[in-house]
Structure 1
Amino acid sequence: MSQEADSGTVYEEPIEIPLEEEDDDDEEDDVGETAGDSRADTQDEAHPEDDEEADEGDGDPEGEGEGDADGEGDGDPEGEEDMHGTASRSGTATPLGHGNNGEGDEDDMEDEEVDEDDGDENGKRRTSRGKFKKYPKLDPAKAPPGKKVPLHLLEKRRLGRIKAAEEFAKKLKKIGIEKVESNTLPSTGLFQPMLLINQKNYSSDYLKKDEQVFALRERKVLRNNTQVSSMANTPDVADLKKENGQAELNETNGDEDIDLSDANTTLVIHPGSDSIKIGFAKDETPMVIPACVAVPKSDLLGEVSNQESKRNPYGRQQPADFEELKSDIQQSFKERMRFYKRKVQPNAHEQVVTFNKQSKPEYMEEKNDFNRINWITTPDRRYYGKDALRCSKDHFIVRRPFVKGGSFNIESSDYRSLQDLLGDVTGLLEYTLGSQHFELKPSQFSQYKLVLVIPDLFEKSHLETFIGCLITELQFQAVAIIQESLATCYGAGISTSTCVVNIGATQTRIACVDEGTVLENSAITLDYGSDDITRLFAIFLLQSDFPYQDWDIESAHGWLLAQELKKNYITFQDANVTVQLYNFIKRVPGKKAEKYDFKVFDEVMLAPLSLFYPEIVEQLQSESSPKVSNTKLQDQLPVSRDIFTDNLNDWRSMSQAECLNGELYCGVQDDFQTLCKVLDSQSKVEESQTENITVADTRKNYAPLEKAVVQSITNASLFLDIAKMAPFYSNILVCGGGSKIPALDFILTDRINIWRPRLLSQNSFPTFYKKLAKQIKDLKAAGKNSEGKTSALPEEDQSQEKVNDIIQKEFQKYMETIEAQGNGDHTLPVSVLPPPRDMDPAMLVWKGASVLAQIKLVEELYLTGTDWDIHGSRILQYKCIFTY
């Protein structure tokens, strides 16, 4: 596109030449340009009538320099284009009709000396006319002798670069990618502010789009199957494809043949402390394998002395503290029966003891015992899963590699090293996948993907070690992870705000889920579960003169009997708590089966009531837990730390910390103190986020279940939206194997209504809280604006007094309103949801993970072997559905 100068002379738009590249042709160009300038000056002297027009339209350094400075020049540092579209090698554009096009022909080279002399004289004359007053460095006469590039050319290039930089900055500002220092999002909340643009990649689109991230680009390549192996065209691979088929070629190509949308090649694993649930994504129910490995004592080389020396605390005689806690539970049971007008027999306990003392066994023949157990007493090899449960305690050590909902059992003294523990994990998975249901060999694992279920409050070091074992040791194609509470909502088909209560074997986990996100500050882990109920039920039976006199609960056959009795008889149904007659079969390895009749009374309800009175569980665990932990494994698998600050970087939950410190909302008797505690929650969260924690908190959480639920829902609503409190209480979903107790939902609803603070149970509390929080915020903002005249300390004290006065006045008004309304239908309703579609609550978490494995979202979550090799654990920041 052409443009006209003020004099009417027409020029072509310049061609941009890179300024940084200079070769041997620059010297020739400079000579040609000098010659062109000299000839142009000679023509000015020969034609004075055209002098003014030539001065305005000439392409000499002076004219271009002025055009660049004014912002009207072409900005070309070295060359322009003539009317015929040819680029001038000399860098000078001569007006049409002046005779010289600046191409530097032979005639010009012959007259070079004359032109240079003429150019010097003309340059002096122009300087005298004031042409070089503004830019004296452009004067050719002042160029140093012997220099390849004259100073006027270097100055012209510098001005061109300045102009190009200004134009480029304008374009960046116009398209909206200029550097802005202020954050567009607050530092708190679910979303983190965006990072500033890297100045190194300022003008590119690198990492400005999701597909620019390596992990996502790799996923796109795998999904489109566009990546071709470097070995694909070799003769050996071609022959292999013809002879052995496509299956062998898939193993050769590796990640290129991953089909992310095939649910038939996707396995879902939910590891737990009691069992591992594993199955294909399209299976209706998973295969449940006990998470235990039986190792012959001869293989451990005599390292079992600690196991033999542990005392068995599960007997008839218990300490006085235990008896006091048991009496408290009995008192609560009697009050509940009295409240619901249930009749209790006065001499029921004496009837049970009298009958059990007189009960005699009935011997059974093996042919009549249809559920007989073939015990394993030959320590010839290791046994996994159900076979491990049948191994005799005299010849085997039964080890459990998982604990705490899927974490590694590094506290157990049965393991000598971390590799020993990981060997049990890989052996257990290979045994399960090699069973009749799957029939998979370890060489076929590379054709399958995994969806792994992890706890809500997971330990990063354990998770990263487990994922590395699945990808590098077992060599699965890809692995995706999902948290338990979110998987529970997927399995139940609930999309609203939900509070999930998962009662497992050794732990009970509580968390609130909103819009597909597990709220971190609502997660609570309680260190008791259904196994503690089993042990407590066995102790209560023994104290009622159970016919099985020498019952060893910790033995393989004794534990199977305890679990069977708990599964069949414990309940929360008030109407069923009376003197009942039952029977059981005693099966001991090497002896005939014996059938006993026995009676029970309140033991069936006292044992599960320990969920709401966990002090008795704490007493029991303190007596049974070993005094010495395995420090060797803990050193080999330490807690995860930040590489820069050396602080612990696992998930932190405000609710978990408050439960450990005893700062529960249900423990506050005064409503005004509850209100102050709620208003201070935001500041506590900010302090906890900035707190540097270098030592792991090893305390155990024994908060009562109903109080922990109130704590989780309250904190989740405060940190997200106080209006979410109503849907959280209306959607309490109970799952896990320990939730199969009849009428658990009924008693949990009652306990929450009993212990929930009156202030937090009001339907109008969210509106009152928002109004009061806004007033306090405005008052603090006004106090900050008025500071400056007085000292800081009195001003802060005065501002705090004003805040306290407002809280007191608004609280009194609100309580008067509540008293006027009464306690009718103005409380937040509590609703505990049963598992949908009569689904087994123990399988609900696995079912939700299988749902995730069949939707499109899972494609973004898969970690491949290539991802793990290149990035390691850092790839989890891009491939998790939650903030890792």
Structure 2
Amino acid sequence: MVGKKSGRAQLKEEGLERTDNNLDLTTWPQVSMINQKNYYTEFLKREEQFLAFRAPQEEATARMVQQARDKDRALAFGASVDGNIDQAEEQTEDVAAASTQDYSSKLVILHVGSQNLRIGLGTDALPKSVPMVIARRWNESESEEGDGEPCPKRQKVDGTAASPEKWFGEDFANQYQTMCSELRTRMRNNKRRVLPNSKELVVNYNRRATAEHISEHNDVIQVEWTELPTDPKKAPEYFTGNDALRLPEKSNPRYKLFWPIRNGTFNEKDYNTRSQIYHDISKIFEDALKTQLGVADPKDLANYRCVFIIPDLYEREYVTMILDILIKDLGFGKVCLQQESLSATFGAGYSIACVVDIGAQKTSICCVDEGLCIEESRINMKMGGADVSETFIKMMLFDHFPYSEMNLKRRYDFLLAEELKQKFCSMDESQVTVQTLDFHLRAAGQNTRRYQFKTYDETMLSVMGFFKPQIFDHSRKLEGRRSVIQRAVDLYDGAPNDPLSTAQETVINNAAGQAPASNGTQEATNGPPVMATPSRHNLINRLTEAEGTPRSSVAGSPAPEGTPNPDRDTPMGETDQPLIFRDPILEKTKAAEERDKVVPVIPLDQAILESLTQGARGEERKMRDFFGGIMLIGGGSKTPALQQFLETRLRELRPYYGKEILVGAPPRDFDPQVVAWKGGSVFGRLSTHGNDSWISKSEYNILGSRLLTHKCMFAW
């Protein structure tokens, strides 16, 4: 039996004996481990540690101290004069009221559209409207580019001019004839008189119509054109607003119109660099501040605050560039961002509503509940009043419009088309009769021409394009997309991070022909319909089928052995099929690229139903509240009888909610075009000292657009 060895013997035999001289292996100080059960830190645990929260609090504290000092000074002044404390308090109230008035006079509200800019001060009852356009010196005007090809484009047969019925192709002719037949059927069902030869009367009259020339001194209403100096070298580099639209086509030097905002976002079709868009928007804002608000010195803007109204379904690059223009380029002291639909409810005084904003080139729909835009209900469609104008002119030319040379690329023809649409287009079936109308054509350097023409159903069918958008021309709406302004990506993983709602994804899938229109045409008689929520993988699946091969990437890691693989029919280890790895970032990027290839356009009534479904989230009470609060705003909503027609269409699609459905304009006979601007003015004046959503210039210079995470009233 072997005896037990001592510990020292074991150390020597096994080579575990310590042989060093107690010297440290390094001269760096050794930090002992922290007891994980007993340590605490306050790093980023309180709001005071965030600059975005600390700066407003410090400003509020300084303001309270200043107010206390002013009150003490007023009390001391009143007591020293007559000893009347009440008079001193009245003086203090007068000072506070004066400061409130001064605050509103230093508040600027900006609402940017594709066609018009609405700008005004907090003290203004209504905003000023300025065309969102700039004219720059160029080699040729926009009507002379592309060999003078007119808009709308006319087709030729065998190289020669075709008849008006063939100018716009067979597709347009067939769709137009189909819409005419459907309208006649609808009118007969509504017991309205329909003459069988109405179209022939219109065409025959327009063929024979000629222009009546009116000399300049006999023209009562004359247009003031923008004057240029006789020396071309002294001509300004640019014009903005109405001055740009009133430049003569054959001016010396030539000017070309640029619209920096197109379809609700940046115009990448007519611009080559990001800086060009940046400077054009800045120049338009700067000139509007000077001419409309009287802010002549740009340095004074440091004392002004600005409420900027952004789209509900915005693009991050759009918001960050506009914010950079307002703070860094123009020099506003503080800027606040607010969404259009939320601003519209502020202007109308509604707490819950479904806001339908029909603009010039964009139609947005969003459900608002208790001061919050419901994210999944936001819809942004690329169609609006400009499409109605173009379609109305195409229909009139199809029916032998006497002014056959109309070209929407020419400035005076563009203004004439807008005038004709506003005066004659209507959704009232009682107005669908053969009418004799007239208009005056005024061009620089030419005598005024007076035309008489007849219309029948063109005035209604052009607006009907909101419910049959295939009649609109969508061929050029995606030209230049993502060629100048790249898509916003996440800072950490590089995935696209522009906001996307479930309702918008449904619109895109329907426009791409992926699924039925969310049961939008389903008729329910026994109970409320249940609208299907689209799959978020429709575009991804389509992309996979188009490629023909599965996507693979080395970025992923294989699952543990024996774990079922969703991409294979059998568990791993039971087949020789190679492993398939998915890269979620690559899938998101390709899905975003697929979405950018589709023009998001579906019938207006179906889009409203989809937005309501996503906004109610299955709650019957909210669905009824939203149906009873559909509010039409924007310039396109001013079409006569559009509200009644839309209400009838919704009741046909959802008869179960027939009593609750109500489509109306803003209350108190408010102009639908300025409701969103008015809401921004109300929001900016809610508190004389602002709120936590204001972004100051000092904060922005330090943190930049990262402030938006803490400053926006919506999820950034």
Q: TM-score, normalised by structure 2?
A: 0.75
Q: Deviation at 1:584?
A: 0.4
Aligned to 1:339: 189
Does residue 693 (structure 1) correspond to residue 595 (structure 2)? The answer is no
Q: Deviation at 1:628?
A: 5.8
Give the number of the structure whose alpha-carbon radius of gyration is greater: 1
* 2:440 partner letter: I
Contact 2:209 2:452 survives alignment (8 Å): yes
Aligned to 1:621: 474
Count of paired positions? 577
1:82-231 alignment, distance < 5 Å:
201=41, 204=42, 207-225=44-62
Contact 2:150 2:407 survives alignment (8 Å): no
Aligned to 2:257: 398
Q: Deviation at 1:364?
A: 1.9
Contact 2:502 2:534 survives alignment (8 Å): no
Aligned to 1:657: 505
Does residue 408 (structure 1) correspond to residue 266 (structure 2)? The answer is yes
Among 499, 503, 523, which residue is 2:358 paired with? 503
Does residue 834 (structure 1) correspond to residue 665 (structure 2)? The answer is yes
Going from structure 1 to structure 2, the CA distance change for 1:338 and 1:303 (only over 3 Å counts) comes to: closer
* 2:224 partner letter: N
Structure whose residues are more often helix by fraction: 1
Q: Deviation at 1:260?
A: 12
Among 137, 152, 157, which residue is 1:313 paired with? 152
Does residue 487 (structure 1) correspond to residue 343 (structure 2)? The answer is yes
Aligned to 2:281: 425
CA separation in 2, counterparts of 1:621 and 1:831? 31
1:508-547 alignment, distance < 5 Å:
508-547=363-402
RMSD, aligned CA: 3.3
Going from structure 1 to structure 2, the CA distance change for 1:356 and 1:320 (only over 3 Å counts) comes to: same
* 2:650 partner letter: I
CA separation in 2, counterparts of 1:373 and 1:595? 15
Going from structure 1 to structure 2, the CA distance change for 1:432 and 1:308 (only over 3 Å counts) comes to: farther
Q: Deviation at 1:423?
A: 1.3
CA separation in 2, counterparts of 1:324 and 1:304? 29
Does residue 329 (structure 1) correspond to residue 182 (structure 2)? The answer is no
Contact 1:295 1:396 survives alignment (8 Å): yes
Q: Deviation at 1:480?
A: 0.1
CA separation in 1, counterparts of 2:417 and 2:535? 46
CA separation in 1, counterparts of 2:533 and 2:407? 50
Residue 631 of structure 2 aligns to a residue in which SS?
A: strand
Contact 1:223 1:259 survives alignment (8 Å): no
* 1:350 partner letter: E
Q: Deviation at 1:220?
A: 2.1
CA separation in 1, counterparts of 2:101 and 2:61? 10
CA separation in 2, counterparts of 1:435 and 1:533? 31
* 1:346 partner letter: P
Aligned to 1:244: none
Q: Deviation at 1:734?
A: 0.4
Aligned to 1:97: none
CA separation in 2, counterparts of 1:312 and 1:361? 21
Q: Deviation at 1:666?
A: 3.1
1:759-778 alignment, distance < 5 Å:
762=656
Does residue 709 (structure 1) correspond to residue 608 (structure 2)? The answer is yes
Q: Deviation at 1:648?
A: 0.9
Going from structure 1 to structure 2, the CA distance change for 1:870 and 1:308 (only over 3 Å counts) comes to: farther
Residues 815-847 of structure 1 show CA distances to partners (whole Å, capped at 9, x for unaligned) of: xxxxxxxxxxxx562100222111110111101
Q: Deviation at 1:224?
A: 3.8
Residue 582 of structure 1 aligns to a residue in which SS?
A: strand
Q: Deviation at 1:331?
A: 2.4
* 2:630 partner letter: I
CA separation in 2, counterparts of 1:307 and 1:261? 52
Going from structure 1 to structure 2, the CA distance change for 1:675 and 1:694 (only over 3 Å counts) comes to: farther
Going from structure 1 to structure 2, the CA distance change for 1:723 and 1:731 (only over 3 Å counts) comes to: same
Q: Deviation at 1:313?
A: 3.3
Q: Which has the higher contact order (CA 8 A, sep 6+)?
A: 2
1:724-735 alignment, distance < 5 Å:
724-735=622-633
Among 731, 739, 762, which residue is 2:637 paired with? 739
CA separation in 2, counterparts of 1:628 and 1:743? 34
Among 582, 588, 605, which residue is 2:460 paired with? 605
Residues 770-823 of structure 1 show CA distances to partners (whole Å, capped at 9, x for unaligned) of: xxxxxxxxxxxxxxxxxxxxxxxxxxxxxxxxxxxxxxxxxxxxxxxxxxxxxx
Residues 26-54 of structure 1 show CA distances to partners (whole Å, capped at 9, x for unaligned) of: xxxxxxxxxxxxxxxxxxxxxxxxxxxxx
CA separation in 2, counterparts of 1:851 and 1:339? 46
Going from structure 1 to structure 2, the CA distance change for 1:214 and 1:200 (only over 3 Å counts) comes to: farther
CA separation in 2, counterparts of 1:875 and 1:200? 28
CA separation in 1, counterparts of 2:378 and 2:648? 22
Residues 199-246 of structure 1 show CA distances to partners (whole Å, capped at 9, x for unaligned) of: 752xx4x65554553212211222343699xxxxxxxxxxxxxxxxxx
Among 112, 116, 119, which residue is 1:278 paired with? 119
Residue 598 of structure 1 aligns to a residue in which SS?
A: strand
Residues 687-713 of structure 1 show CA distances to partners (whole Å, capped at 9, x for unaligned) of: 99x985114321111200001001110
Aligned to 2:675: 844
Contact 1:314 1:535 survives alignment (8 Å): no
CA separation in 2, counterparts of 1:225 and 1:467? 27
Q: What is the percent sequence identity of the aligned residues?
A: 30
Q: Deviation at 1:368?
A: 3.3
Contact 2:121 2:293 survives alignment (8 Å): no
Residues 161-218 of structure 1 show CA distances to partners (whole Å, capped at 9, x for unaligned) of: 99xx99xx7xxxxxxxxxxxxxxxxxxxxxxxxxxxxx752xx4x6555455321221
* 1:841 partner letter: P
CA separation in 1, counterparts of 2:670 and 2:529? 42
Going from structure 1 to structure 2, the CA distance change for 1:678 and 1:754 (only over 3 Å counts) comes to: closer
Q: Deviation at 1:311?
A: 5.7
CA separation in 1, counterparts of 2:185 and 2:694? 53
* 2:199 partner letter: H
* 2:487 partner letter: V
Residue 648 of structure 2 aligns to a residue in which SS?
A: helix
Q: Deviation at 1:408?
A: 2.1
Q: Deviation at 1:723?
A: 2.9
Contact 2:629 2:662 survives alignment (8 Å): yes
Residue 519 of structure 2 aligns to a residue in which SS?
A: helix
Q: Name structure 1 gaps, 5 residues minimum.
A: 1-157, 170-198, 229-257, 764-826
Q: Deviation at 1:440?
A: 3.0
Does residue 375 (structure 1) correspond to residue 225 (structure 2)? The answer is yes
Q: Deviation at 1:667?
A: 5.0
* 1:845 partner letter: A
Contact 2:518 2:532 survives alignment (8 Å): no
Does residue 585 (structure 1) correspond to residue 440 (structure 2)? The answer is yes
Does residue 753 (structure 1) correspond to residue 651 (structure 2)? The answer is yes
CA separation in 2, counterparts of 1:646 and 1:545? 54
Q: Deviation at 1:297?
A: 1.1
CA separation in 1, counterparts of 2:326 and 2:480? 27
CA separation in 1, counterparts of 2:372 and 2:529? 28
Q: Name structure 2 gaps, 5 residues minimum.
A: 1-31, 66-98, 155-163, 542-583
CA separation in 2, counterparts of 1:309 and 1:227? 65
Aligned to 1:549: 404
CA separation in 2, counterparts of 1:507 and 1:562? 18
Contact 1:507 1:529 survives alignment (8 Å): yes
Does residue 476 (structure 1) correspond to residue 315 (structure 2)? The answer is no
Residue 469 of structure 1 aligns to a residue in which SS?
A: helix
Residue 491 of structure 2 aligns to a residue in which SS?
A: coil
Contact 1:726 1:828 survives alignment (8 Å): no
Contact 2:524 2:656 survives alignment (8 Å): no
Residue 291 of structure 2 aligns to a residue in which SS?
A: coil
CA separation in 2, counterparts of 1:753 and 1:606? 21
CA separation in 1, counterparts of 2:373 and 2:335? 20
Residue 262 of structure 1 aligns to a residue in which SS?
A: helix
Residues 737-794 of structure 1 show CA distances to partners (whole Å, capped at 9, x for unaligned) of: 11110111110011112234xxxx546xxxxxxxxxxxxxxxxxxxxxxxxxxxxxxx
